[in-house]
């Protein structure tokens, strides 16, 4: 998706992920597959708790760093990027934020 945005001229879109505290053992495997920053949550930081989110949730921030959209993995439209519907939904929400 990052490449799709670059090709469409959206140069200022950035992606990042926060790895769960309990998934520390998977961090190296996951970071090897990522082309964007992967941050490791810790008990000192508790990034997931600060966001009150869950695994696979998406948070979209605007240019000012304000939360513009929260896309929960459960209970709403599919945000599973491996499916066409989920990919299109997430991409569409990102474009909505970019064009505000």
Range of the domain at 37: 2-98
In the numeric block, the tokens 């950035």 are attached to: 14
pLDDT of residue 51: 78
DSSP 5-18: HHHTT-TT----EE
Q: What pLDDT, on a 0 to 100 scale, did the predictor assign at position 95?
A: 93
State pLDDT tens for residues 21-80.
776 666 666 777 777 777 777 788 787 788 787 888 899 999 899 999 999 988 889 999
Q: Which of 1, 17, 91 is nearest to 99 (CA)?
A: 91
**Between 83 and 48, residue with greater pLDDT:** 83
The model's pTM is: 0.79
Residue-level pLDDT at 44: 85
Total of domains in the chain: 1
CATH number of the CATH domain containing 56? 3.40.30.10
Which pairs from 1-5 meet CB under 8 Å and 24+ separation?
A: 1/81, 1/87, 1/90, 1/91, 1/94, 2/35, 2/36, 4/91, 5/94
């Amino acid at each position: 998706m990052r490449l799709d945005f670059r090709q469409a001229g959206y140069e200022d879109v950035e992606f990042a992920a926060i790895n769960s505290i309990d998934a520390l053992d998977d961090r190296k495997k996951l970071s090897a597959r990522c082309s964007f920053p992967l941050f490791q949550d810790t008990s000192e930081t508790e990034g997931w708790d600060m966001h009150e989110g869950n695994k696979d949730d998406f948070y979209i921030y605007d240019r000012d760093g304000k939360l513009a959209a929260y896309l929960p993995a459960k209970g709403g439209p599919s945000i599973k990027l491996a499916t066409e519907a989920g990919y299109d939904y997430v991409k569409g929400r990102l474009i909505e934020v970019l064009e505000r």
